[in-house]
Amino acid sequence: MHELPDFDVYSPSTLRDALAYLSDEGRGSSLLAGGTWLIPKMRRRGSKVKKLIDLSGLQDLHYVRKSGKTIRIGGLTTISELVAAEVLDERYSCFKVLGRLFGVEATRNMATVGGNVAAAEDGDLVEILQALDGRVVVQRAKGQRVAEPADLRLSENEMVVEVRFPALTGRVSTWFDKFEKRRGGGKGIATATILLRLSADKKVSDIRILVNRAKGNKTGRAYRAESKLKGRTVDPVSLGRALDSLESDIKPTGDFRGSARFRREIAKVMVKEGILTCVGRLVDGNDAPEVRT
């Protein structure tokens, strides 16, 4: 690590001021939210930042609330605030688990939802938002646009002000997990997110399976595996077929942290655990269903 380079700081007190500055002085500027990604990058001299826009004064962007049928999360909401939000009930256990796996406590208290989504197109939060049909609201001085989390590309005069997704209703459960060499160590060797909905007759009416590095190094959905479970009861036969199909859904790249084969095998174990956990919650009210393959 190196000393931080010299830079100027602008601290707007309102979102309007921040957007105006971005519009007029955005070239060469970087937004500073929690700083958990940007500051280390600057110390590694991987960023030639000349001007920082300190967003800590924009308190109006700290919120997690339900508006009609939509959950809305302010861009400066910290990971700790997200995890503690009362509006996210037991159906959103994916966020509760994320809170335990997202770095150390100090990081969770600083890192923001908007900053994480903007910096990590293949990050844990982006994966969860994809499972929830999430969207990202991007603001600039002259208007706003809505983007999908995995396709987010910000210009120099834009910032993330909100993420949103349809509120979950009915018999639905979510799950997230990460396999990493050391807890809180950053990017997972393998991650998986499950959203599972059961009908009154205990059949799968909706399921979304997402894993990191589904294709190369990109997060993606396991559509073939999902199709083996939709409309069926989760039993050893249907679950086994889904896991077999996962082989063709997942084509990761390997690196120094884990080979492609290792990532694929770990992902299969995690997906199985996630599906069984969701079924157990919805059918038996616990996290340890007795379904085996």
* CATH code assigned at 186: 3.30.390.50
The Cα–Cα gap between 245 and 243 comes to 5
- Residue 43's pLDDT band, with cuts at 50, 70 and 90, is low
Q: Which among 141, 166, 191 is the end of a domain?
A: 166
The domain total for the chain is 3
Number of CB atoms found within 10 A of residue 181's CB = 10
Which residue range is the domain that position 40 belongs to? 8-54
- The domain spanning residue 111 has which CATH number? 3.30.465.10
Q: Tell me whether residue 26 is in a domain.
A: yes
What Å distances lie between residue 41 and 1, 4, 5, 235, CA to CA?
A: 9, 10, 11, 47
The conformational region for residue 259 under phi > 0 = left, psi -120 to 50 = alpha, else beta, is beta
Q: Are 38 and 112 contained in the same domain?
A: no
Contacts (Cβ under 8 Å, ≥6 apart) of 276: 234, 239, 289, 291
Q: Tell me whether residue 251 is in a domain.
A: yes
Number of CB atoms found within 10 A of residue 273's CB = 15
pLDDT in tens, 162-182: 999 999 999 999 999 999 766
Q: Tell me whether residue 291 is in a domain.
A: no
Number of CB atoms found within 10 A of residue 65's CB = 12
Q: Are 156 and 181 contained in the same domain?
A: no
Q: Tell me whether residue 223 is in a domain.
A: yes
Number of CB atoms found within 10 A of residue 137's CB = 19
Q: Tell me whether residue 3 is in a domain.
A: no
Q: Are 125 and 214 contained in the same domain?
A: no
Q: Are 259 and 158 contained in the same domain?
A: no
Q: Is the CB of residue 18 less than 8 Å from the CB of residue 55?
A: yes
pLDDT in tens, 183-241: 555 667 889 999 999 999 999 999 999 998 888 778 899 999 999 999 999 999 999 99
Is-above-0.85 flag for pTM? yes
